[in-house]
Amino acid sequence: FADEPCSGAQVTLENALTHSYNTAFAKLGVDLGESDVRRQADSFGVNGESLAVPLRVSASSLGEIPDDASLAQSAIGQRDVALTPLQAAMIASAVANNGVLMAPHLVSELQATDLTVLDRTKPEELGTAVPPEVAGQLQQMMRSVVARGTGTAAQIPGVDVAGKTGTAENAPNKPPHAWFIGFAKAGDRQVAVAVVIENGGNSGSETTGGRAAAPVARDVMRAVLRTGGG
């Protein structure tokens, strides 16, 4: 994790993530190259393959990347990048889970009419998205986003919340989508979420995900942590 230039200055990765400096990550994407960017996206499950929970979920993909300019745009989630809310939640979960990506499922267990358990979904690892030490660094960066960056609206008093805001331009003359992904833990309760508000942003703002989507994520996480739901 080295400093990268942003707007003519030097900025750490933590500060770049905290304040959503797109230029830093656009440059990093170009420096890494398309093959490494695709390899890392694939490790998080962004590989053009659909999921089943068991209902079918559309695939997430980076799309076509014909040149460096396209790579820079793709590295910050623009251009042809297509991500489902489920996939985004899986990314947040993998970071929180020390880098291990888990298979998603909609139903935890099936019960008979007398409430005896007929079948229970077992946790399934899909792979390691990043090493534990890298996941730990990302966790700290995402905590910084909520503590002092673009995601302060996701703060929950007394709870350690981590997250990342996003603003996704999607069509000419339409407001961008507002995004927030995050995770939190309180005692033995933990939750990872992804919120997208379609056309709910402001194209003149770099932090619209923080204003529109982060408060929704905060309320969802707070409800789960209070009730113990998953």
For residue 168, the cross-strand partners are 177
- Distance CA(104)–CA(115), nearest Å, equals 24
For helices 132-148 and 85-96, give the axis angle rounded to 10 degrees. Answer: 110
Which tens digit of pLDDT belongs to each residue from 14-37?
999 999 999 999 999 999 999 999
Percent above pLDDT 70 for the chain: 92
What's residue 227's pLDDT? 65
pLDDT band at 228 (very low <50, low <70, confident <90, very high): low
Tokens found for residue 164: 């990342």
Asked if residue 2 has pLDDT above 60, the reply is no
More confident of the two residues 2 and 29: 29
What's residue 112's pLDDT? 94
Helix (H, G, I), strand (E, B) or coil at 120: strand
Which tens digit of pLDDT belongs to each residue from 34-79?
999 999 999 999 998 898 898 999 999 999 999 999 999 999 999 9
More confident of the two residues 162 and 211: 162
Contact 187, 121 (CB under 8 A): no
What's residue 59's pLDDT? 93
Give the Cα-Cα-Cα angle 53, 143, 165 (nearest 5 degrees).
60
Asked if residue 215 has pLDDT above 50, the reply is yes
Tokens found for residue 169: 């331009």
More confident of the two residues 209 and 150: 150
Asked if residue 205 has pLDDT above 80, the reply is no
pLDDT band at 175 (very low <50, low <70, confident <90, very high): confident
What's residue 95's pLDDT? 98
What's residue 181's pLDDT? 97
Whether this prediction's pTM lies above 0.85 is answered by yes
Which tens digit of pLDDT belongs to each residue from 113-131?
999 999 999 999 999 999 9
> CA dihedral defined by 52, 38, 176, 94, rounded to 10 degrees?
50
The secondary element (H helix, E strand) that includes residue 125 is strand 125-128
**CA dihedral (52, 58, 62, 65) positive or negative:** positive
